[in-house]
Amino acid sequence: MSTESLLSVHGLRKTFGGIVAIDGLELEVKRNSITGLIGPNGAGKTTAFKTISGFHDPDEGEIVFDGQDITANSVQAIVDAGLTRTFQEARTFPSMTVFENLLIGHRGHRGEGLLQSTAGVKTYASDERTAMERADQLLDYLQLNDRKDKQASQLAVGERKLLEIGRALMTEPDLILLDEPMAGLPADVTADIIEYIERIRSERDQTFLIIEHDMDTIMSICDKIAVMDAGKKIAAGTAEEIQNDSAVIDAYLGTESP
Amino acid sequence: MISFDPQFLINGLTTGGTIALAAIGLTLIFGVLNFINFAHGEYLTIGAYAAFVANVSLGLPILLSAILAVPVTVVFALVIDRIVFYPLRRQGAGALALLITSVGVSIVVRNLIETIWSSDTRRYDLAAGEAMSILGIRITAVQIIILVTSLLLMVGVHLLLTRTTLGVSMRATASNQSLAMSSGINTEQVVRWTWVIGAGLTAVAGVLIGIDTVLRPTMGFGLLLVMFAAVILGGIGDPYGAMLGGFVIGFVQEVSVAFISASYKPAVAFMIMVALLVWKPEGLRGGT
Amino acid sequence: MLEQFSFVTSVATVAGIYAILAIGLNVHWGEAGLLNFGHVAFFAVGAYTSALLTIASPSASQAYSFGFGMPIPVGIVGGCIAAGIIAFLMGIPTLKLREDYLAVVSIGLAEILRYGLMNENWLTGGVGGIYGIERPLAEAIPFAFYNLFYLGLVLVALVGCYLYTKKLRRSPFGRVLRSIRDDEEAAVALGKETFRYRMQAFIIGAVIAGLAGSLWAHYTTALTPTAFATNITFTTWVALIIGGSGNPKGAIAGAGLIISFREATRYLPDVYGLGEIMPTLRLIFVGVLVIVTIRYRPEGLLPERNITRAEYYNRLESESENL
């Protein structure tokens, strides 16, 4: 059985002005894994996410997703290919309801075109029905049903995180990039989110690549961890292997210990 | 081939000088408080009318009137900040709420002035200036005063920004507020002094314009877009850029009459600003 | 009695036209989060285009050179299209800008347009403007009822604009617009082409403003550039802020309130001898109202209301039954 790499990054390089943010990054994410990406502040992790998901175009290198070269693709094309990214601050749409937040995630909704919306529901009824049914299902799955008509800004921070993940799930991704999902969460909520991520991985056949600083989360949830420093990958392996890697320990010296 | 008329230079420099003075304050306030203050033009008007009260109603000499106009305007600016903007800042209002509120403030101030002094144009009580001719260029005493005052004040601002702790703090806060706060800079104090310097300089610009032309309640508001253009040209938050921007706009406006109809002159500044925002929003001096 | 009735009719007509303007601005600001301070530009383009399309060919003594003598419906449609085109041209460079920059640029562009209106005599008749614009069905309707008829026309247009924007609000297109308004980057991350949506919203709001302009031109029968100064933009904004942005009903309520206030106070002054300063006092009051509203009730009188899941389902069920 060959290792099914869902995402392969080779020789990725990205500079801003004179600053090298990513310097020859190599990364592999296996299908149906929960892979962690860690590293000290400024290592380039979020920049890597932004480049992989299409927000930045890399200067050099190659990004292959599900057998497809997505290196220079637009964000929209990458989302269509099955790769979706979330944000550190749980950026749900604050003035919109939970239900609406989920509906927006539905890809390829013909009703979103101005012509169709002007013409009326008849022109997009099936897409709308599908989107609503999928949103209903996620409302149940994420236990947000009783808050479906509440504005996202009124949710607790843990619920917003879940909503953002749900919204990402609506895009029917194969790979979800989670940017620091535990940032700003109290410990009990963190446990809930961890449980959801694991369930989503197994029950919905999902793959996750997670940036995290919270080491307990990373060590417990991730099958494999890649460590970045100064724009490069300096180590990769299981939690134990990482903890004992001298390069990793050096990188973290003076900041936080893994 | 249009022959270069040095008259443009003098006119451009004097117009530019007053715009530059007003723009310095606007850019500092934007840099430090991070909102576009649509009421900024009113400080110019308040300054001009304060000097009018001193000069015409109270009979004081123009220089003293000009000097008095500064603290009057500064007090207004601080009071307006305290009762209108500060409460919004404290409740976490965004830049847009502040912007719309500043539009409201500008309407109130402008119409208050018009209520009191009517929309008739006013003039200071001055001895008529004579025009001199230097190297074939016509220049009036007033223009010399404007140039000298603007340049002196700009040098003063430069010294303040580079030689004093306050000035350095202001520049730091204007370019990166969160970093400044974490370095222990007292931002509320910086904010207060930004209003002082910004409103003060703008008040002087108002008096100078009043000396050079006339006073009317819309004088500040009418120049607001031009001030914005100068700020954007020089790069937001950059006081030196604002000085440069003011002079460039003043100069370009004057020169433009050689190329396009004079009735479009005020629109020239807008065109520059629009072009800049679209193609080079970080301004002539580039990003920091 | 007849005089007062006629007065009320004309106030209502002006209020109706401002309500249409406010609905257009609501599409920009309330739905799409576009801070457009140059709204009067679309109003002016609509008015002048409709005027020029419908007016007779000019005589040699008149400053402007074009007049096409077309029927009024052509003029009105032309006014809407022209406003849309201007919005498209304005939008290309500006819609990528950060919101508060858009405010500054949009005023700049509207002012440039106004200078163009004043100076390009060959097109717009310059400062003197265009006069003698036709009124629709002027011969057919008896003079005594004409203003009432025109009010009816304006109200029909208003209802049409209201129903359309309400429909858009509830549509998937409206949902995407609001998401872009809330957080553009997050919308991009979901694969939405945000620039296209903003441009479309910009054009729709401009077309609505162009309609208001066309209606205005055929109502007043004369146009001069001074009528299209920034205070029209300001009045529309105040109407939206007070009435409630994000809510088309709020736009209408706000316009009604502001115009009624303005017209009611126009006749007050003689009582207290405040005649001369009444215009400025009125504006001071409005300015204070804006400041107070943003501080204490930023959502306005009729706040934006979220659409519930039940409403989406009902809409889907009821409309697809008619298939």
Name the more confident of B148 and B42. B42
- Summary mean pLDDT of chain C: 89
At B218, give phi and psi (nearest 5°): -95, 10
Cα of A45 to nearest chain C Cα, Å: 17
The pLDDT, as a whole number, for residue C272 is 64
Distance between CA atoms of C234 and C103, rounded to whole angstroms?
12
For residue C202, pLDDT beyond 70: yes
Q: How far is A237 from chain C (nearest CA, A)?
A: 29
Query: Which of C179, C184, C197, C207 is the best residue to mutate to test the A interface, defined by the most A CB atoms within 10 Å of its own CB?
Result: C179
Looking up tokens 């790069």, which residue turns up?
A: B235
The answer, yes or no, to whether residue C274 has pLDDT greater than 80, is: no
Does A226 have pLDDT greater than 70? yes
Q: Is A27 helix (H, G, I), strand (E, B) or coil?
A: strand
Convert the pLDDT of each residue in B224-278 to its tens digit.
988 988 988 888 878 888 999 899 888 888 888 777 777 787 788 888 888 877 7
Q: Which of A112, A120, A167 sits opposite C319 (nearest CB)?
A: A120
The reported pLDDT for the residue numbered A41 is: 85
> In the prediction, which pLDDT does B105 show?
96
Q: How many CA atoms lie within 13 A of A19 on its CB side?
A: 8
pLDDT tier for residue C313 given thresholds of 50, 70 and 90: very high
Q: Is residue B250 part of a domain?
A: yes
Q: What are phi and psi of C46, to 5 degrees?
A: -60, -45
Exposed e or buried b for every residue in C46-62, given b needs 16+ CB within 10 A?
Answer: bbbbbbbbbbeebeeeb
In a domain, B87, yes or no: yes
Give residues with Cβ within 8 angstroms of C99, minimum separation 6: B96, C33, C34, C35
Beta A19-30 vs A5-16: how paired, if at all? antiparallel
pLDDT value at residue C271: 62
Which of the residue ranges B257-271, C48-62, C218-232 would you say has the lowest mean pLDDT? B257-271
Q: Has residue C213 got a pLDDT over 70?
A: yes
- Contact check, Cβ <8 Å, A75/C189: yes
- Tell me, what's the pLDDT at B1? 45
Q: Does the pLDDT value for residue C322 go beyond 60?
A: no
- Asked if A60 and A10 count as a contact pair (C-beta separation under 8 A), the reply is no
Contact C229, C33 (CB under 8 A): no
- The average pLDDT across A25-38 equals 93
Three-state DSSP class for residue C221 = coil
Report the pLDDT value the prediction gives residue B128, as an integer from 0 to 100.
64
Q: Which domain holds residue B77?
A: 6-279
Whether B202 has a pLDDT exceeding 80, the answer reads: yes
Q: Which of B112, B261, B267 lies at the smallest CB-CB distance from C284?
A: B112
Residue A51 has a CB neighbour count (10 Å cut-off) of 24
Higher pLDDT, B136 or A166: A166
CB–CB of B225 and C108 under 8 A?
yes
Ranges of H-type helices in A54-97: 75-81
Cβ separation of C111 and B99 shorter than 8 Å? no
Q: Is residue B148 part of a domain?
A: yes
Tokens of C259: 């115009």
Q: Which of A80, A128, A149 sits opposite C191 (nearest CB)?
A: A80
**Mean pLDDT on A115-133:** 93
Residue B142 pLDDT exceeds 90: no
Q: What is the pLDDT of residues C140-186, one digit of tens each?
A: 888 888 899 999 999 999 999 999 999 999 999 999 999 999 999 99
Within a domain: B141? yes
Strand A207-211 and strand A175-179: the pairing is: parallel
Q: How far apart are CA C206 and CA B205, in angstroms?
A: 38
Residue C98 above 90 pLDDT? no
The residue with greater pLDDT, A10 or C132, is: A10
Tell me if chain C has a CB within 8 Å of the CB of A87: yes
- If one counts every other C-beta atom within 10 angstroms of the C-beta of residue C267, the result is 10
Model confidence at B10: pLDDT above 90: no
Q: What percent of chain A has pLDDT over 90?
A: 68
Question: Tell me, what's the pLDDT at B101?
Answer: 94
β-bridge mates for residue A67, sequence order? none
Give C13-46 pLDDT, tens digit per residue. Answer: 999 999 999 999 999 999 999 999 999 999 999 9
Return the number of other C-beta atoms located less than 10 Å from residue A145's C-beta.
14
Residue among C163, C177, C178, C182 with most chain A CBs within 10 A, to mutate: C182
pLDDT at C6: 85
Side-chain half-sphere of C287: how many Cα atoms within 13 Å? 21
Distance to chain C for A18, nearest Cα, Å: 25
Residue B96 vs residue A152, higher pLDDT: A152
Distance between CA atoms of A145 and C111, rounded to whole angstroms? Answer: 51
B89-121 confidence digits (pLDDT tens): 888 888 889 999 999 999 999 999 999 998 888
Residue C323 has pLDDT above 50, yes or no: no
pLDDT of residue B284: 60
Residue among B84, B104, B261 whose CB faces C119 most closely = B261
Nearest to A101 by CA among A62, A43, A147: A147
Q: In angstroms, what separates the C-alpha of A22 from chain C's closest C-alpha?
A: 21
pLDDT > 90: what percent of chain B? 32
pLDDT tens per residue across span A189-199 = 888 899 999 99
**At residue B174, does pLDDT exceed 70?**
yes
Residues of C in contact with B277 (CB under 8 A): 93-94, 97, 101, 104-105
Is residue B247 situated within a structural domain? yes
**How does the average pLDDT of chain A come out, rounded?**
90
Report the pLDDT value the prediction gives residue B166, as an integer from 0 to 100.
84
pLDDT for the residue numbered C17: 97
Whether B270 sits inside 8 A of C109 (CB atoms) is yes
Q: Which residues pair with A178 in a beta bridge?
A: A210
* Mean pLDDT of the region C192-198: 95
- Can you tell me the mean pLDDT for B51-66? 89
Token digits of residue A177: 């990039």
| Number of structural domains found in chain B | 1
Alpha-carbon A245 to chain mean position: 26
Give tens-digit pLDDT for A76-103. 999 999 999 999 888 999 999 999 999 9
Is B129 contained in some domain?
yes
Average pLDDT over residues C228-247: 90
Buried-exposed string C250-266: b where 16+ CB fall within 10 A, e elsewhere: bbbbbbbbbbebbbeee
- Chains B, C: CB contacts under 8 A, how many? 108
Chain B residues with CB-CB distance to C25 below 8 A: none
B57 within domain boundaries:
yes
CB contact under 8 A, B267 and C112: yes
The predicted model gives C74-102 an average pLDDT of 90
- B71 in any annotated domain: yes
Predicted complex ipTM? 0.90
Domains and CATH numbers, chain A: 5-92+171-252 (3.40.50.300), 93-154 (no CATH)
Name the CA radius of gyration of chain B, rounded.
19
pTM value is: 0.90
Q: Check residue B14 and give its pLDDT.
A: 85
Judging contacts by C-beta atoms under 8 Å, the chain C residues touching residue B30 are none
CA distance B169 to B176: 10
Mutate: best of C173, C315, C317, partner A, most A CBs <10 A: C173
- Tell whether C280 lies on the interface with B, counting CB pairs under 8 A: yes
Q: Are B173 and B180 in contact (CB under 8 A)?
A: yes
Cβ burial of A250 (10 Å; 0-12, 13-18, 19+) is exposed
CB contact under 8 A, C185 and A87: yes
Coil, strand or helix: which one is A157?
helix
Ramachandran angles phi, psi of C223, nearest 5°: -130, 130
Run of H or E residues at B137:
strand B137-140
CA neighbor of C129 nearest in space, from C196, C221, C37 = C221
From the list C172, C309, C310, the residue facing A112 with the nearest CB is: C172
Q: Is C111 on the interface with B (CB under 8 A)?
A: yes
Alpha carbon C67 to its chain's center? 25
Q: What secondary structure does DSSP assign to C278-308, as a single string?
A: HHHHHHHHHHHHHHHHHHH-TT-SS---PPP
CATH number at residue B258: 1.10.3470
- What pLDDT score does A1 carry? 32
Contact across the interface for A95 and C185, Cβ inside 8 Å = no
Beta bridge partners of A151: A97
Which residues of chain B approach chain C closer than 8 Å at the C-beta? 35-36, 84, 87-88, 93, 95-97, 99-101, 103-108, 111-112, 114-115, 118, 225, 228-229, 232, 261, 263-264, 266-267, 270-271, 273-274, 277-278, 281
Chains meeting A at 3+ CB pairs closer than 8 A? C
**In the predicted structure, residue A3 carries a pLDDT above the cut 80:** no
